Amino acid sequence: MAIGRYFAMTAAEIRGCSDLPAGIAWMACHFSPYGTGLSNLPQELPEGSLLILNDRTPIHGHDPDRIAQQLAETIKANHCCALLLDFQRPEQPETAALAQVLAETLPCPTAVSELYAEGLACPVFLPPLPPDVRVETYLSPWQNREVWLEMALEGEVITLTEEGAAVAPLPFREAPEEGFPEPVLHCHYQVQISDTQARFSLWRTKEDLETLLQEAEALGVKCAVGLYQELIAPAR
């Protein structure tokens, strides 16, 4: 079975898109800052869409039972294929407790970010593969788990000086226009050397990402989720 691919979109992007991608991920759902439930649940989605719940608003004081009921009703009404819990606040035990309840009770597959994966049997959602790491190496800690992978074009800059190495992010919009392909790492690279440092820029093109996903699929990755704005939306 081919790896499932979903493109996270806002409500405005969905409304304004005349040619929706085959896999949609609703990314606007979060804990309400005013009540004890969820905000921005979708009213209507194409059948088979992915629902994403984030914790940009802290969960403090929210009712887990109400949240579970809201999600179950939304998933059923929209025939969603799965739920992704994009939680990034591991210091909050309430969030971890909710993730466990949802992963064990909802009527569809529920994936959790790697920060919450320990002790759960559900799929684990991994951040984008760094361009200096091989796919097999990146996936090796999760050999006995179903893995979902975030797909992105973000790169990195590695600067070597006498003091050592420093790594900085390279936003995809700032990637060089030309470079050398690196087929093992599924990326492109460029090297700049001066008297005081060596600077290695590594980034992915959409073609690089495609070959990366093909290898990831061969290694058992079941799903990939990325931003519509980054991967599909036409340039402004």
Rg of the Cα atoms in the chain: 19
Contact between 11 and 17 under an 8 Å Cβ cutoff? The reply is no
Q: What is this structure's pTM? A: 0.91
What are the pLDDT digits (tens) for 56-87?
A: 988 887 888 889 999 999 999 999 999 999 99
Q: For 207-236, what is the mean pLDDT? A: 91
Fill in the amino acid letter for 145: R
Contact between 38 and 53 under an 8 Å Cβ cutoff? The reply is yes
Contacts of 218 (CB under 8 A, 6+ apart): none
Q: For 24-30, what is the mean pLDDT? A: 94
What are the pLDDT digits (tens) for 29-64?
A: 999 888 778 999 998 999 999 999 999 988 887 888
Give the strand pairing for 180-182 and 164-170.
unpaired
Contacts of 28 (CB under 8 A, 6+ apart): 10, 11, 40, 42
Rounded (to 5) percent helix, strand, coil in the chain: 30, 30, 40
Sheet holding 180-182, edge to edge: 164-170, 155-161, 198-203, 187-193, 180-182
**Which among 12, 68, 5, 6 is positioned nearest to 38, based on CA atoms?**
68
CB atoms closer than 10 angstroms to residue 27: 25
Average pLDDT, the chain: 92
CA torsion 112-204-12-41 (nearest 10°) is 0
CA atoms within 13 A on the CB side of 85: 33
Q: What is the largest CA-CA distance in the chain?
A: 63
